[in-house]
Structure 1
Amino acid sequence: MEQQATAPRPLPAPVDVEQAEAALIEHYPRLVRLGYLVLPPSLGRNRRVLTAHALVQRALPRNRVAADEQAGLPVPTPRGPGGSPADPGYSYVRLRVLRSALEAGRPRGRWQLPRPGQLPPLLPQVWGLRLFPRSGGADELALDQALASLSGPARAAYVLRALELPADRDVRQVLAAAGVEDPGAAVLEADGLRTPAGSRDASLLESMEFDPCSLQARPTDLMRRRHHTRAALAAVAAAAVCGILVALPGDGWGPDGAAAPPYAQNAAAQQALDPAKLTKAAPGAWKSADRPGFTSWPARGNRLGDEELLHRALAVWARPGRTVQVTATPGTPSGPAAGPPQLLFAGEVGQAAVVLLHDGLRVVRYAESKDGGTGAAALDFARTDAADAGTATAVVVGRADNNVRYLTAPWVDDVSVRDLLKPGNAPIPLRRDADGVTDPTPSPSPGNDCNGWPALQMGDHLVTDLGELAPALLTAGAPAAARDVSGDRGRAGWAHAACHLQTMRGQGVRAVNAWPFAAQQLPGGAGTAEWTCARAETWRGAGSRALALFQPPGTRAGAPAGVVARAESSPACGARDPHVLAGVLWKAASGTWYALAAGGGDVRSITATGGVHGTAAGDRLAIPARAGAQAELSARLADGTRISTLR
């Protein structure tokens, strides 16, 4: 084990402005990434991006830096092409960036002036746009949330060790030079970070999720900005005429809570803000509906008669103020309702007052403190058009401490919790109150380590939470005849596919089907391998995702199958294109490598070219191959059509 004591090192030569400037220009993206990762996550992604660039641009010294100003600054050991540059100028600028980023996360005294990183940067500045790094996958999201749980010094220790300095001694020395009081404790805290699966090679920190130099740009609220501009011009004109604006006449509905000030007087818009005009389904409407869905849900909850709460929910939906936390699933508009929406629920859930509304296209959840409409509020949108009895089984009404509570559909008679990774275990009943609100139940967390995956059994339907308002329906079988998951075989198949649901979080997923499209006898009598295609369909009809999974024989129940191919926004493996082809290199116990392939949906022959050559009749192929061989696969269907592997 490495000793905690840090051996003294010779001080580097003095650094002048030109040397530091050259290092900053050459390694600018690396320095900005370091600042972005160490800055407090509470700043938000847009603010962190701009602040990281500002910290790096302010890191240049004003003149020649004497050696005694660099006391304790180590010369880092190079790590190869991707390692930390062994350059005194870079070391100096890096220390300045690190020190400023750490200062931004330190608490500020009551009368203490803010530090540079604690204020929005003057430059660079972007008006009318929000800038943030491109989104990565589930592993990057899990790592980002894990880093957010660390203190600033521990986060810096983790990032330095992963990207800059492999030796803990060097990390502690840099932290000490940056002003960290206990570098050893910071390194120990970083050691305790639970990293997500797939991050062992430290490449996740180098992904686009954490690259503040490769950005996406999105506008701020254009409509609200235009209205605010017009309102400001009108206020200036009024001030020029009257000198001061005392009050505005009006006969509004009452306090609007966290809603922004009204910007228009429109008869249709005003009707949508009137709690008395909310529509409600009859208590038994779902029993006679042609297709039970959210439109047939009755209104429930212990605050249905609270017009002030209902009005605040409608007003915030129409014009959310700056303190409102607004989220929406991909492809879901977050604008106001075109007319009076349907009321699904108004009641208290834990410490919050919650209102659920439905306008035919979306389910909207409004939440505030149950003590009243003051303070912050939350507004969540999820697209739910064309929902049926299977996809309208429940809506999330509350989340806290990785637990979730649902409002269940009126046709759900009983609810129980299953662990998808333990298909042989009996489900655990979940209690509901008189309104159909469940007790808190564990939800798969973004950093799920795949030791368990909870799902809800609601009658015949099996659903799971993917971080959105509406849980995703899980089905099994061929795409044209997907059915509810029932029986040992269906649950055993989902036990191997469940962990890959992590990659589908936050995508507006409506349903996920697991199709076991082939069972293949392996060469040498090694047993039978299972091929499965897991396809996620979204509410918006686009952005689907398909994964081809390979499960060798002899693995334990609940072990995740290997992903051998994937496709984005492709009809393959779905009702429109019920075909799939996938392949993998497999090593037998004898040491011989084989190229395996399997197809589903009228596949009549499979051909391998490139690094492996061969053709097999039918829907399975197994031919000897070299280790690391790259093969191109194609298959011919019964009608003569050729298909390729998922991509």
Structure 2
Amino acid sequence: MQSQDVAPRRPAHAASDPVVDVAQAEAALVEHYPRLVRLAYLVLPPGPGRGRRVLTAHALAQRALPRGKAASPVIPAQTTGRDGDPGYAYVRLQVVRTALEAGLPLRRRAWPKRSQLPPLLPQVWGLRLFPRSGGADELALDQRLSALSGPARAAYVLRGLEKLPDGAVRKVLTEAGVTDPDAALREADRVEARYALLGSPEFDPCSLQARPTDLMRRRQHTKAALTAAAAVVVCGALLGLPGGGLGPDGAAAPSSAQNPAAQAALDPGRLTKAAPTAWKSATRTGFSVWPARGELTGDKALLRRALAVWARPGETVRISATPGTPSGGPAGPPQLLYAGPVDGARVVIFYDGLRIARYAEPQGGAQGAALDFARVDSATGAEAAAVVLGRADGNVRYLTAPWVKKAAERDLLKPGAGAMDLDLTGGTTAPLAGPGRQSGACTSWNVLQLTDDSGTHLLTDLGELVPAHLTEGRPGSPGEASGAGALHTWSPFACSLASVRSAGVRSVNAWAYAEQPLPDASGSADWVCTRAETWRGGGTRVLAQFHTPDGEYGAVAAQAEDTPACGPREPQVLAGVLWKSQAGSWYLLGAGGGELSSISATGRVQGSAQGNLLAVRAKQGVRAGLKGTLEDGRTISGLR
């Protein structure tokens, strides 16, 4: 039955398909690996047994990365994954697709797919691994899931584990090759929706029990393997006799050969260090004029380890990189910015002109090392004012630029509460609470406030090495977000910054582009456009947000990616929202920038207005569009 429900993989993607960066997909796989393995384990058919199912689930998750170094297409019908991460959406789709393929029966006249074969890796010799046993409820659910077809099992798991609505489940199944996703959803409906059980240890292939395999059979197999190995050694010796050949590495240089440039990049004695006062006379205040700071700048062994891990990271090193940031080794000797102890770890920070690289290892040894990268090309001023030294217990500690005179912590949701001073010792701040880390509703958003000779700047941690610079004002000429008016503009929309976490964001600007009197004497609403610019140029994210007098937070009315709207090239923006007045009437409200001469509604709502504001009676749930005319005669459409 499964072979009829799963179609062949769709053909190559069109050139216009959006792409996901390989490093972004890798970061998503590392961060959400246990969840992806659990997803594969639940979708796989139960026939081969729990041990084989565990190894296959790990193999499928580990093969989910795009092949090669180039960016790979994101399926257009695929919704973004956890926290809006397209990298997670991509690897999740690959896991679902290959898990469904693994359940297909083998055919005589067709080559088997890779996912249908036993995994070569991972392998565990001499042990059987399987998840911990659950209770009667988990056993009953596993039996009901095993009776479903592969697509129906995937539909149930995507609903319960990924919390996707049916529309998103249908899209994922379609892109995974399921020919009739509606039938899969109907079949999944026959199983009681006990989704909380999917998170139990019964279905966790990363928390395992170990038992020995058949010891007598293993002894017999060992004797046979030793005999075969002896034969291979004899044959290898004969084949290795003189007689030509390219050698084990083909035409490549022997592994002992040394590249002078690569060796220079790994020599701690050749690290670049800026003079302590270089920033005072520099024409450009960037990372290149940061002096080397920290207690361990003279620890050659630590620096050598950090450089070696950067050039050749081992399998146990945890690597992360912001989207669009290469994670390869340095091309030449990098600049040292910091080396010292931070919250129980030894941390080294380098700068190579394009990237910030942060190496961290536990103080007890080099096991468990981490390597993080962030793109910072052309950073200057506030964008080069701070780097994350470390995170611990939900707090963040920063290394600040040498020109920073004062550091403070401020809650962006409370503009009138003032800022709390932070100790600044040797350029290192005291730890401050990370923004928006609490569970449930967003009740605070803490930002870093830095003061230097040019003024006061706000920076926010978005889960990356370099915090994003917050600004406020009309695109093309924004100001700092630290003034009283700017703080009140940002306050209702601070929590929307979570939507651009881990996206390689360079700066976020908030522009209050319109104030609209509300119908039925309901007060006035504010329209604010937030635009997140990235270090790589692409991937910008624009949100048009709407804030009413009785609302604590702004509501997202429209959003778009990779659009010039609300930016320096095209500062105009137009957005609309269906709104219910205090009198119970529904209206289509629209607002644009001050250069709009008129706005008209299209679709199921008809109406127009002169100027940049529109309010038209509408019905609940109606679908409508907006079109605006600028003073110069050009037309623009509403963001969607």
TM-score range, shorter chain: 0.5 to 0.7
Contact map agreement 2:79 2:168 (CA 8 A) in 1? no
Superposed, 1:607-646 pairs within 5 Å as: 607-646=600-639
Question: The residue matched to 2:491 in structure 1 has which SS?
Answer: helix
Q: Distance in 2 between matches of 1:23 and 1:578?
A: 52
Change (3 A) 1:140 1:470: closer
Deviations 1:52-103 (A, max 9, x none): 6577555239xxxxxxxxxxxxxxxxxxxxxxxxxxxxxxxxxx8xxx4xxx
Q: Distance in 2 between matches of 1:605 and 1:301?
A: 59
1:402 to 394, 400, 425: 394
Question: The residue matched to 1:479 in structure 2 has which SS?
Answer: coil
Stretches of structure 2 that go unaligned for 5 or more consecutive residues are 9-27, 68-73, 89-133, 144-159, 178-235, 243-253
Counterpart for residue 518 of structure 1: 514
Change (3 A) 1:53 1:427: closer
1:305 to 298, 311, 317: 298
1:277 to 270, 273, 287: 270
- 1:576 matched to 2:569? The reply is yes
- Cα offset for 1:371? 2.9
Counterpart for residue 596 of structure 2: 603
Contact map agreement 2:447 2:461 (CA 8 A) in 1? yes
Question: The residue matched to 1:523 in structure 2 has which SS?
Answer: coil
- Cα offset for 1:592? 2.3
Q: Distance in 1 between matches of 2:503 and 2:636?
A: 27
Count of aligned residue pairs for this structure pair: 479
Q: Distance in 2 between matches of 1:238 and 1:465?
A: 62
1:509 to 482, 496, 505: 505
Contact map agreement 2:407 2:429 (CA 8 A) in 1? no
1:488 aligned partner, one-letter code: A
Counterpart for residue 533 of structure 1: 529
Greater shift, 508-517 or 545-554, is seen at 545-554
Deviations 1:399-445 (A, max 9, x none): 12221111111111111111111111121111232342433533433
Question: The residue matched to 1:563 in structure 2 has which SS?
Answer: strand
Contact map agreement 2:397 2:428 (CA 8 A) in 1? no
Superposed, 1:164-179 pairs within 5 Å as: 174-175=137-138, 177=140
Q: Distance in 2 between matches of 1:44 and 1:493?
A: 34
Contact map agreement 2:516 2:525 (CA 8 A) in 1? yes
Change (3 A) 1:270 1:202: closer
Deviations 1:85-123 (A, max 9, x none): xxxxxxxxxxx8xxx4xxxxxxxxxxxxxx445545698
Counterpart for residue 350 of structure 1: 343
Q: Distance in 2 between matches of 1:418 and 1:457?
A: 7
- Cα offset for 1:293? 1.1
Change (3 A) 1:424 1:524: same
Deviations 1:110-142 (A, max 9, x none): xxxxx445545698798795699978355477x
Change (3 A) 1:124 1:265: same
Question: The residue matched to 1:175 in structure 2 has which SS?
Answer: helix
Change (3 A) 1:262 1:502: farther
- Cα offset for 1:177? 3.9
- 1:550 matched to 2:546? The reply is yes
Q: Distance in 1 between matches of 2:170 and 2:458?
A: 32
Question: The residue matched to 2:488 in structure 1 has which SS?
Answer: helix
Q: Distance in 1 between matches of 2:34 and 2:162?
A: 29
Counterpart for residue 318 of structure 1: 311
Question: The residue matched to 2:497 in structure 1 has which SS?
Answer: helix
- 1:488 matched to 2:484? The reply is yes
Question: The residue matched to 1:429 in structure 2 has which SS?
Answer: strand
Counterpart for residue 127 of structure 2: none
Change (3 A) 1:51 1:200: closer
- Cα offset for 1:617? 1.3
Contact map agreement 1:328 1:381 (CA 8 A) in 2? yes
Counterpart for residue 335 of structure 1: 328
Superposed, 1:133-148 pairs within 5 Å as: 136-137=80-81, 139=83
Q: Distance in 2 between matches of 1:546 and 1:512?
A: 10
TM-score by length of 1: 0.67
Counterpart for residue 376 of structure 1: 368
Change (3 A) 1:379 1:608: same
Q: Distance in 1 between matches of 2:439 and 2:256?
A: 42
Change (3 A) 1:200 1:488: farther
- Cα offset for 1:332? 0.5
1:494 aligned partner, one-letter code: W
Q: Distance in 2 between matches of 1:389 and 1:405?
A: 20
Change (3 A) 1:475 1:28: same
Change (3 A) 1:124 1:538: closer
2:397 aligned partner, one-letter code: R
Superposed, 1:5-84 pairs within 5 Å as: 22=1, 53=40, 57-60=44-47
- Cα offset for 1:591? 2.4
Question: The residue matched to 1:578 in structure 2 has which SS?
Answer: coil
Change (3 A) 1:488 1:311: same
- Cα offset for 1:279? 0.7
1:276 aligned partner, one-letter code: G
Deviations 1:556-581 (A, max 9, x none): xxx22010110101111011111100
- 1:591 matched to 2:584? The reply is yes
Change (3 A) 1:123 1:577: closer
Contact map agreement 2:436 2:443 (CA 8 A) in 1? no
Question: The residue matched to 2:576 in structure 1 has which SS?
Answer: strand
Q: Distance in 2 between matches of 1:292 and 1:211?
A: 47
Question: The residue matched to 1:524 in structure 2 has which SS?
Answer: coil
RMSD of equivalent CA atoms: 3.9
Superposed, 1:418-567 pairs within 5 Å as: 418-445=410-437, 449-459=441-451, 460-555=456-551, 559-567=552-560
Q: Distance in 1 between matches of 2:600 and 2:522?
A: 23
- Cα offset for 1:321? 1.1
1:407 aligned partner, one-letter code: L
TM-score by length of 2: 0.67
Contact map agreement 2:40 2:61 (CA 8 A) in 1? no
Stretches of structure 1 that go unaligned for 5 or more consecutive residues are 1-21, 30-40, 62-95, 101-114, 145-170, 181-198, 217-235, 243-260
Counterpart for residue 203 of structure 1: 164
- Cα offset for 1:200? 13
1:531 aligned partner, one-letter code: W
